[in-house]
Amino acid sequence: MADQKISELTAITNAASEDLIVVVDDPTGTPANKKISLLNVFANVASNTTHTGTLTTTANSTFQGSRFTVSANAVFKTTAGISAAGTTQGTGTALVSKINEVTTVAAGANAVVLPTAVAGASVVVINADSSDVLGIFPAADASINGLAANAAASQAAGVHKEYFAANTTQWYSIQ
């Protein structure tokens, strides 16, 4: 093989596990060109990987097509001690976790806002306040349980509900 710059080599679109990658070993000390197979590169990738913003998986998880199976306990992001704010969709407290415990609800501060609906998503809202009704708003241009777009659903004190997104504009709740 004649001497060529790496940038002059022919590109491939599919690599096999035995294919080689050029590596510069010890680039800040005594650099040396070396090789490593794709199989060896991926043999050192951690089996626990986080996909930013969407999913963290560890052992006992399987991806197959569009299906994700968990065969162990799943732990979801939870936020406790949330204070409701305002009385409108624009001033309510944004819910950012899968499980949300709202502990402070008051007459002038009784609103929370669900995240933007994504088909298949679900959010749990716990109204842990002992006496005040919580207003649950959808994100902009969505609706809850067939209410008008942007209208609040009411959740009584001491009640927990799970909200399911059927699509990008419709949430449904179950108690």
Question: What is the rounded CA–CA span in Å between residue 124 and residue 163?
Answer: 6
> Per the domain annotation, does 46 fall within a domain?
yes
Q: 107-118 pLDDT, tens per residue?
A: 889 999 999 999
> Do 59 and 101 fall into the same domain?
no
Residue 158 above 70 pLDDT?
Answer: yes
Sheet holding 160-165: strands in order across?
A: 78-83, 99-104, 122-127, 160-165, 170-174, 143-144
Exposed e or buried b for every residue in 161-171, given b needs 16+ CB within 10 A? bebebeeebbb
Of the three residues 70, 87, 106, the one that is the final residue of a domain is 70
> Per the domain annotation, does 1 fall within a domain?
no
For the chain, give the mean pLDDT: 85
Q: How many Cβ atoms are within 10 Å of 61's Cβ, its own excluded?
A: 15
Model pTM above 0.75: no
What pLDDT, on a 0 to 100 scale, did the predictor assign at position 51?
A: 46
Domain range for 162 is 78-174
User: How many independent structural domains does the chain possess?
Assistant: 2
Question: What is the rounded CA–CA span in Å between residue 23 and residue 171?
Answer: 50
> Chain centroid to CA 173: how far?
20
Of the three residues 41, 70, 99, the one that is the final residue of a domain is 70
Could you tell me the CATH number of the domain that includes residue 97? 2.60.120
Average pLDDT over residues 150-158: 97
Higher per-residue pLDDT: 37 or 114: 114
> Do 131 and 161 fall into the same domain?
yes
> Do 28 and 65 fall into the same domain?
yes
> Do 82 and 58 fall into the same domain?
no
Range with the poorest average pLDDT among 2-16, 27-41, 63-77? 63-77
